[in-house]
Chain A
Amino acid sequence: MAANNHKHDPNVLHPHISPTSMYLKVAAALFGLTILTVVAHQFHHQLGAFASLVAFGIAAVKATLVLLYFMHLKDDNNMNRAIFASGFFFLIVLLLFSVVDIATRVTEVSPL
């Protein structure tokens, strides 16, 4: 949105206005997914190791909906998308290297 449109005066903003129905749909989806999370939790004994996978999968879908529609990343420029993604990227770096250390702590031998 608000990309430089040479036909218009740059002093006038032309926001991309999403219709109310879109917000309603997204909110409904978020409510539905939350209920789904809880329903899935009732079966977490049957799901076993998949229980957390399901829970976080749903959470990730919800987060994506919020990002794309409520926070308008869908209509935003690539720079802002990249900026936001970089946060997650470096978080994964932090997790990955910390885990590499903690998971390979053996006192006896250097495995490499």
Chain B
Amino acid sequence: MSTDNITHTHSAHVSHHFKDATQEYDSGKQGIWLFMVTEILMFGAVLVGYGIFHHLYPAMFSEGAKQLDWKLGFINTLVLIFSSFTMAISIQLIQRNQIKKAAMALAVTILCGAIFMVIKYFEWTHKFHMGFYPGRFLDMAKTHAEHANLGMYFGFYYCMTGLHGLHVLIGMGLITWLLIRTIRGDFHSQYWIPVEGVGIFWHIVDLIWIFLFPLLYLVG
């Protein structure tokens, strides 16, 4: 613990309508968790749809899952977990006032996000190339699809990975903003709530991928 360099100037970070730093910190944290609930419900509703249709058309979903390359999904899972680790570490480093290292950790996190997106990009373009478009645009002749409604599987695939990818991009944007502020010296052992907030968001993105990976690539 290196909380010894506290000075009272830090309380200048407390907004006017809060009494003290504790109240502000607790409020901020609660707000973030509330927002995460909306994320869970949003993704969860698609998962509910996925679950229902998977149950109705197991063979079709199995055919769809076989078209995906689990190795890419596997690599992406590892990349995201590693980025989650660096994100968590960055907060801990800021709490210990090791700002430079924290900035490094944040930069690595952004890099991991970028790697994830690049792999995703190649996955998607490959699928397009093969004719696996979503829904009714799926090229039945080119893909030799056995099930007439295979497009629905890819509908789910693109919706889920697309929405997730969008979150990765938003997360990368937010972390870039954090990185700039970290380098500028805005964060320290008495003020890190934005880092923690974005961190929780980033972990949620990771968490969702942890479920998407077996759901889309492995189960069939």
Interface flag for A15 (CB, 8 Å): yes
Are B29 and A80 within 8 A (Cβ)? Answer: yes
- With contacts A11-B22, A12-B190 taken as known, whether A55 is within 8 angstroms of B37 at the C-beta atoms is no
Q: Mark A58-85, 1 if CB is under 8 A from B, else 0.
A: 1100110011011100001101100110
Stretch touching chain A among B119-127, B153-161, B211-219:
B211-219
B-side contacts of A63, CB under 8 Å: 207, 210-211
Q: Which residues 70-124 of B have a CB within 8 angstroms of A?
A: 70, 74, 77-78, 81-82, 84-85, 87-89, 92, 95-96
The secondary structure that dominates the B interface is: helix
A41 to B92, CA, bound (A): 35
Are B85 and A27 within 8 A (Cβ)? Answer: yes
- With contacts A17-B92, A38-B70, A70-B88 taken as known, whether A98 is within 8 angstroms of B30 at the C-beta atoms is no
- Min CB gap B61→A, angstroms: 11
- Interface residues on chain A, number (Cβ under 8 Å): 52
Interface residue tally on B, bucketed by range: 35 or more
Q: Mark B8-48, 1 if CB is under 8 A from A, else 0.
A: 10110010000111110110011001101110110011011
Q: Which residues 13-36 of A have a CB within 8 angstroms of B?
A: 13-15, 17-18, 20, 23-24, 26-27, 30-31, 34
B-side contacts of A52, CB under 8 Å: 214, 219
- With contacts A30-B81, A52-B219, A66-B210 taken as known, whether A12 is within 8 angstroms of B21 at the C-beta atoms is yes
A15 to B211, CA, bound (A): 31
- Min CB gap B220→A, angstroms: 8
Q: B residues touching A (Cβ–Cβ < 8 Å)?
A: 1, 3, 6, 8, 10-11, 14, 19-23, 25-26, 29-30, 33-34, 36-38, 40-41, 44-45, 47-48, 51-52, 56, 70, 74, 77-78, 81-82, 84-85, 87-89, 92, 95-96, 189-190, 192, 199-200, 203-204, 206-207, 210-211, 213-214, 218-220
